[in-house]
Structure 1
């Protein structure tokens, strides 16, 4: 892992995610790129109380100043071993962030799952889930109360009805090697003893043969609920998932799934793409 990008809107939760990113960059001997995207005209100017910059240049300079201040804070807190680059982009958040990760050939993108306003849990959760569909690099989502710790115990959720893409699974294996962690694979299926299901599970075990791992098959259909229960029971440092077309992250973070979101408040989640 050489380059980590952390996106921030300067909210406390987003900045906490940059602290997580800084510590991970230091552990991986990677450089850290802090990025902020600003949109010149607010969606609703009344919400700003008229207190917004008079020009794109003024907004750019203000953003860059805030990023530089954050970088200084990170260096003061964790030392200067990590090279930090600050990038301000004008435009909507998702395409701007995606452009940075592509231009800088990032290995990982880190974002916070929620903002600070009462309505922001759904809003920011929506941004994060939509980033999964648009990001070109693995995306690590940091819940508000998550604290950085060495990642040693990872739970990987796999739906055996839709086996993961081999390339994506290989990327997950590469992350496990870099982190030096154990992968606890959880497979959910309502027919756990079906020969086809067993064959698919054994194929996954074969692909993971070079990585310390366990593999558990649990009966049922609710992959997400079972995954969260399993992760908490196994004291996981990280949940790793391989996004499927049916948009599992939306079920975790938006559409009123507040109970599931609450249970994710202390476990970072890595979406491998």
Structure 2
């Protein structure tokens, strides 16, 4: 039997100060998925600023930007005078968080786990922090149903047909920065019915040409941001590390919006299904 989502909400976040359930008037959102969830809960009227990664929905981009979530300056954060900061795990640096703590700004750190349950945990935590527990439960219930539906579809893919997917974060200087395990890329590949081509390490790592070739990916997955982070397809597939792979032979490259693909927020079921369709065709 599934427990009501609100019964576990208060145990899901790490708080630097005790959680207050009254509605904060001035909320600063740090992290793209946090901002997206706040909008999905209908609590955007309390947002007074966001970080650089918070670019969806488009309305969020009109808010003041306090900087990149992993390189926040205390002056920038405090300049918008928040009474509550809701942040994805990993925001920092630690020195900035210490200054905010000393300034007695309430900070809710949202747990981050690259699984379907991890997204539901985010929603219930943010719902509790904003006083929107009923809305959070409704959103989480719908998303859980959507994620279950995607899981059911990809479960029909035979193991022998599962594509080996290499997520490439960057191709700067012709070197491949790729995803191992315990990343959002690894999580979404699994949810879409794929197999991560690299599992011998956690996080992201610069790979040797030999290691990429030996991984033998069937598909290259990337964000669609271009620049130093992603060479055009012809250039990418001609790299010495990728040219010997099945992905190069078939020309299989999938590019998707970064926040949509890796955000692990309200749109993740759609992103997983879109990726699965790119890998296998309609399911």
- TM-score of the superposed pair, with normalisation by structure 2: 0.29
- TM-score of the superposed pair, with normalisation by structure 1: 0.29
- Compare relative contact order (CA 8 Å, sep 6+) and give the higher one, 1 or 2: 1
